Each structure stands twice: as structure tokens, then as C-alpha cells.
Amino acid sequence: MRIYRAAGFLATFVGIAGVAVFFEPRGSVRAAEVSVAQRDSDGVFRDKVVPFLAKNCYECHGNGNRKGNLALDSFKSAADVVVHRDQWESVLIDLRGGVMPRSDAKIYPSFSERNAIADWVQNELSAYSAAHPDPGPAARHRLSRKEYVNTIRDLVGVEFKPEKDFPADEAVKWSGLASVNGLLTPEMKAKYVDAAGRIMDEAIAGNSDESKAASAMPAALAADFNDQPTALNRSAAAREILGRFARRAWRRPITVGELDGLMDLFTAADKNGESFNAAMKSSMKMALVSPDFLFRGESEAEAGGPKPGQLVNEYDLAARLSYFLWSSMPDDELFNLAEHNQLRGELAAQVKRMIASPKAEALVENFTGQWLQFLDMAKPDKKVFPEFDAELRGSMRQETQLFFSAVMREDRSVLDFLNGDYTFVNQRLAELYGIQGVQGEEFRRVSLEGTPRRGVLTQAGVLTSNMYGPRVGIAKRGNWVMVNFLNLPGSTPRIPAPNLPEVGHPGSGPLRRQLEQHRTDQACEYCHVQIDPLGFSMEHFDAIGKWRDKEGEVPVDASGQMPTGESINGSVEMINILAEQHRDQFLECMATKMLAYSLGRRVRVTDQPTVDQIVARMRKNELKFSSLVLGIVNSMPFQMQRGETGSAAN
């Protein structure tokens, strides 16, 4: 994750006055920060960092205290920071997110103090990363539900629908993106075994006529089962069919020993008098419960101990590419290119082909759902919002997916996600938005010119996902923008949020006024001074995204001041400021979120040079969506793996 540099570094370390903020204003001070840090890293550590830690952190992490197994007084120099960079990356995240010190601490550091230290840590870690390129750890990634379903569909032509108790995907809080860990419990194994049996039963003919392959089965596999071998050549035919099947299922060439293992099952079933198809099913089911199928692992790296990194082979590259863009296995064209070591030379053409494919809707659905996190928790009260129902919820989700798909397929600028002046609505959404002339359930593209809506931020699905009970979630909306559009770690409440009076209660009043009172607590002010102005700018939208001029009987006040000093009034002004003054943050956010999605792991400080290169490529290509994807698939973490021996799927 991009741990954002703030403007407070210069204000504290070289005495230049300025507002200390989380946002980096236009005209980055990054070069100046680096030059200051490089001149005297140890001096800054000694004179600025250590006193800050002693004042704010040693109560729990020093002077003999080691909460979280972290003793910050054990670090004696700037070199110690990069040697123990994993620990300092955690420190950096906590500093940026305002997680530490705790809510019961006696002293709270100011913005400038906190951000100055964070800036220095960021610079030290980034400088080390640039000098020591590292593709990062290989993610041990079990196929998600959707990846499993799509892979089965493309492998054997079965539209498998997993039950509710099928292994679920796990949300990763550090990135907002879904991931699946490498655990495979006995309960999971049993479910996979059962699923493999039902899948192969459906794929191969069924009980009524085992000599015919299912019509939905891929042509090559169907031909294998339609052409029944004689008793004399059953074992030669089985070996050839299983070899082709396992190569596709495991997404790589297979060894003689691996094929022998699959053949042992066939031979045993064959000797027991089972039909050819039944004997084949036993071996194919085994292939589908193998870790080589269930996990997106890497082939074994070259022996010889740890190395800075080496290129993944082309089969692994094909799998990385297909699961990134399609959430499924490689197709025959990718397999053939990988077999002849031609995929790297054809990446640009393949990306273009794959984005144009209907399978790319998997990227639209999965990435938008994970990145934007919309409608996952929203449950509007029907008494307060009688117009909200499952149909409207579905329309909200479809609007965002159609919007993302248009940016992708038309290769538009990624800035459209911020300030695009168009969207897609059907009659239900058009009525919610006050857009005239849209009839029926069919979605159509409409202009937003002359309306208070732009891009994704003002879409009803996003606004609804950030409700606070039956209310507009001002702080939630602001925090959402910070995390998902500015790539900031977000603010963790230092103390539990107070229970607000129910809507309509005599003591309720405008939420803005209650938040202003809430911010008088120093522990609360730290976060709310950053996130509230972003939330205030969207106050004209109620909890489900409908325009309003009043909150109750009080006129809506959508004005505020960004932490960087800009005055704003309303969502369009806020969005325009983000698109201009804070464009760098947004571009880095897009690069970071999609890189994390493509790799199946969080983006770390060590990946910052890669993020910078992806953004630079986007700038050279008019910020087109394709340049974002090509920047990722050509990046070091996507193309390479660490040099340790061993397979991620073992």
C-alpha cells in the first residue's frame, strides 16, 4: 500500500512554515525530502526521530516495554531501520493511520510531528527499495470461489454452483481487496472432493450414457471421450488424455511421475472392470483436488539459494495474466504462446485481446466489488427509505459495473473514475437521480452535464455503502474517499464513536453540528479534521444517494475546507480539486489497488518504485486504462519471483 508522504516533513525538519496534512499538494516536495534525508540520515534519526519516539512511543515500546514484541529503543541508527524494514513498515502504517499512540495516551503528536517522522521513514525505506529491487513474496493463493467456478467452466464446460458452505473468500483489511490464504483444512478437502465428483459426473455424459461427452465440454475433451478406445489400447489412450487434461488443469507441463500417479488410479479402476469413462473420472477427480489445481502457485525457482529475483516461466506468466484479467485459467492461445516461449513478446497484443473478451467482465465485477466495497454492509431501513429494495440495490451495482466496463473497453482515461461526466441508468436509478426521459429496465448511457454528479464518488451504490445507520455517513464517506481514491491508510477510531440520537429525536439536530461537537475531543479531532470536509462536500446526497436540499428542516451545508487549505462547496468542487491538485495521489491509488489485485497480496513500501513506474507509464499514454494494465503486467513483481527454491503450492 502506498504510505503517503505528507507536507509536514519540511515544516518540521527545515523550519519552513506550512500546514501539516495527509494530502500531498500539487508540486510535490518529494525531491526536497529525499535530499534532506540523504544528507544526514543518522543525524535526523538521532535528533528528530529518537526524541519523537521517546516522547510518544516508549511508554509501550521502550524502556523495557515490548508491547507487540516491538521495542523501538533497540534501534540505534538509520541503518537499523532498513535492516528491520518489516517492523518499520508497520510503524509507518500506524503513524499514517493515526493508530498510535493509543486513545488513553497522555500526549498526542501534532500532524506535523507525526507526518515528519513518517516522511523520514518512508524516504529511508523507499531509497533502500530502489537500490535493492525485490519482486516481493509469492502469494500462496487458493482459488477464490469465482476463480474456481470460472476455471471449472473453462476446463470442462460445467457451470458449477458451489453451496453456501463452500470455502469462502477472505477479505483483507489492509487493502480492501479479497484474498484467499493457503490453508486447506480437512473440511475444505472433503468439500473439494465432493465437488470434483459432481463436476466430472456432469462433464462426462452422466449415468444414462457414459459413452458420450457432455455437450458443454470443450471440444478437445469431448472428442477424447467420444472416441472410445478398444480394450487393447485403453491404457495408451488414457495416458494421452490424462496428460492433456492435467496440463490444462494444472496450467503447466506435467512430469512423467505426476502422470504415472494419475494413471495408477485409472489402472486400478480399469482392472476392477469399470468402464473407460468411469475409470477416467477417478483420475480426473484426483487432478481437481490436487494443490496444483486448487492453488495459484509458482513453478519451482532455480536452485542456488536466495537471489534478488528471476523471471517466472511463461506458463506461470500466462496464469498470472489470465487470473488477473479473467479470474480464470489460460485459454489455448495463452498456453500455446507459453509453450513456445513467445508470450512475453506478445504481452501488449494479448492484453488487448483479453480486455476485449467477454471474460474480462470478471475483472469488472471482481475488482469493482473489492476496490469500491459497495453495498456489502448497507441495509437501509425500509421505513425511512421505502423506495429501496433488492431491485434498486442491483441497479446501483450494475451502474458502477457498466461505468467501469466503459472505461476499460473504450480505453478511456482512468480520471473518468473521478470526474467522468456520464453514467448508466435505468428508470429506477433515473428517478432516484432526477434524470428525465429514461423508461424501462434497460440501462442506457446518459450525460451528467448540469447535474451535481461526477464519476464514481456520487454513484448511489457508493453513497449507500457508507450509511451510518439510517443516516448519511459523513465520516464514513470521507474516510472511504481517503482509502479508495487517495490511497491513504484511513483513520481508525481512537475511541468508540458515540451513539447519536435517532433521526427525528428532539436532540438529534443536523449531523454536521453533532460532528463539530464530537471533534472537540482531542482524540477524535485528529481523524475528523481530515475526513469530515470530504464527507461534508457530499452532504446534498442522502443515505441512498438521492439529492436533498435540507436535512430535516435545516438547509444542507456542503461547504468546508480541505486539509490542504482549499475551500470547497459541494461534491463537484471537491471532485475537481481531487482531479487537479491531488491527481498524483489518485493515480498512485489506482496503480496500487490494481497491482494488489493482480498479485493477490498487499502492495508494500518495497513496491513503491514499481508503483511510480506504473504511474509514469500512464502519464505517457494519456492515463488510458490499457496503460495501467500494461504497466502492471510488465512490472517486476508481476514478471518475476524471488529466487528461493520451493513451490508456493507445495
* Among 253, 355, 256, CA closest to 314: 253
Residue 412 grid cell: 478511456
**pLDDT for the residue 586:** 95
Q: Which stretches of the chain drop beneath a pLDDT of 70?
A: 1-39, 97-107, 111, 138-139, 167-182, 206-228, 230-232, 297-308, 374-377, 469-470, 490-529, 563, 643-650
Distance from C-alpha of 134 to C-alpha of 642, rounded to nearest angstrom? 7
* Among 329, 258, 250, 257, CA closest to 293: 250
281 by Cβ neighbours in 10 Å (0-12 / 13-18 / 19+) ranks as buried
Domain-by-domain residue ranges, the chain?
Answer: 8-131, 141-296, 310-353
CB 10 within 8 A of CB 29: yes
Distance from C-alpha of 588 to C-alpha of 185, rounded to nearest angstrom? 37
Distance from C-alpha of 645 to C-alpha of 306, rounded to nearest angstrom? 8
**pLDDT for the residue 151:** 96
pLDDT digits (tens, 9 = 90+) for 88-135: 988 887 887 666 666 556 667 776 788 889 889 988 988 888 888 888
**pLDDT for the residue 176:** 46
**pLDDT for the residue 639:** 95
Assign residue 202 a region: left if phi > 0, alpha if psi is -120 to 50, beta otherwise?
A: alpha
Instruction: Tell me the angle at which helices 347-356 and 332-339 cross, rounded to the nearest 10 degrees.
Output: 170
pTM score of the predicted model: 0.84
CB 586 within 8 A of CB 418: yes
Question: Mind giving me the DSSP string for 532-600?
Answer: HHHHHTTTTB-TTS-B-SEETTEEP--EEE-TTS-EEESHHHHHHHHHHTTHHHHHHHHHHHHHHHHHT
Q: Please report which residue ranges of 448-564 form alpha helices under DSSP H.
A: 460-465, 474-485, 511-518, 522-536
